[in-house]
Amino acid sequence: MKAINSKKFGIVLVFLALASFAFTPAPERITVKGSDTMVILAQKWAEVYMKSNPNSIIQVTGGGSGTGISALINGATDIANSSRKMKPTEKEKLKARYNTLGVEVACAKDGITVYLHPSNKVKELSVKQLGDIFSGKITNWKEVGGADQAIKLYGRENSSGTYVFFQENVVKGDYAPSCQTLPGTAAVVNAVKKDPNAIGYGGAAYAEGIELCKVKKDDKSPAYLATAETIKTGDYPITRYLFMYLRNKPTGEMKKYIDWILSPEGQKLVVETGYFPVK
């Protein structure tokens, strides 16, 4: 093996040293994109934070968890809101482009609630029954103790973290082709409100003017509504964390904002918006 020329090696070391001292400047304007489930909460955080920090500009948009994470990977947003964990393939993309594993901040808890029309006789379902309904194995309400009516399914688009979480934890397979996908949880709630035979799912914060279905882990377990208490105790079976993902460890204004979100003041807004605090 040939000895490496020491002069050239010196030049290389100088280059490496210079490159090592380069760093990512903290953004002056913070952009937040992602989960539609979290849009209300993220907007509330931004609104209240900007009031007490008038020099800060925080822009919040939705689009779905997948869209937010893609935007984080391609540099189009500083924070990706996600109602599911980052997938290994997304982590690999982040590694390839930014040489980091990303920073995951659990900022709230949520119970995925199941919406029913108030006139529906069915008031509770097990996780398995829900899976069978949304995968198309159960197609009539009479199969789960309801009226002899065809079940109409409403769900989220596949860029939604709620869609992915519900698929992985409840449906455990493909959604039924008849499941109508809608852009946003509010649209799912509206669709169920208008249709006595409908069933839908989404974040707890959107459940207004609609019947919530009690959910049980299995046939033998008691059924629970998603409340702060049942989510905290883990009795409600479809609970999840809501995350904020960043490319790098937060610094400057970004760190200040994240710290505030996790502070009692920020977590108070979580409860006010209809979600549940992380601590």
> Using CB under 8 A as the criterion, which residues of the chain lie in contact with another protein when the complex forms?
1-2, 4-5, 8, 12, 15-16, 19-25, 73-76, 88, 95-101, 103, 158, 173-174, 177, 247-249
Tracing tokens 């883990």 back to the chain, one arrives at 234
Task: Write down the least CB distance from residue 41 to another protein, Å.
Answer: 25
143-151 CB contacts, 8 Å cutoff, 24+ apart? 145/121, 146/120, 146/121, 146/122, 147/120, 147/121, 147/197, 149/196, 149/197, 150/197, 151/197, 151/198, 151/199
Q: Which is nearer to another protein, 19 or 208 (CB)?
A: 19
Sign of CA dihedral 157, 109, 79, 42: positive
Distance from the first to the final alpha carbon of the chain: 58
Tracing tokens 């989220």 back to the chain, one arrives at 156
Enter the DSSP assignment of 222: P
Sign of CA dihedral 25, 73, 239, 64: positive
Task: Write down the least CB distance from residue 96 to another protein, Å.
Answer: 4
Task: Write down the least CB distance from residue 92 to another protein, Å.
Answer: 9
Q: Which is nearer to another protein, 74 or 221 (CB)?
A: 74
CA 48 to CA 44: how far, in whole Å? 6
Task: Write down the least CB distance from residue 198 to another protein, Å.
Answer: 15
Q: Which is nearer to another protein, 23 or 264 (CB)?
A: 23
Q: Which is nearer to another protein, 95 or 137 (CB)?
A: 95
Q: Which is nearer to another protein, 78 or 235 (CB)?
A: 78
Task: Write down the least CB distance from residue 248 to another protein, Å.
Answer: 5
Task: Write down the least CB distance from residue 6 to another protein, Å.
Answer: 13
Q: State the alpha helices, DSSP H only, in the chain.
A: 6-21, 39-52, 65-73, 88-98, 127-135, 161-166, 185-194, 228-233, 252-262, 264-272
Q: Which is nearer to another protein, 159 or 162 (CB)?
A: 159
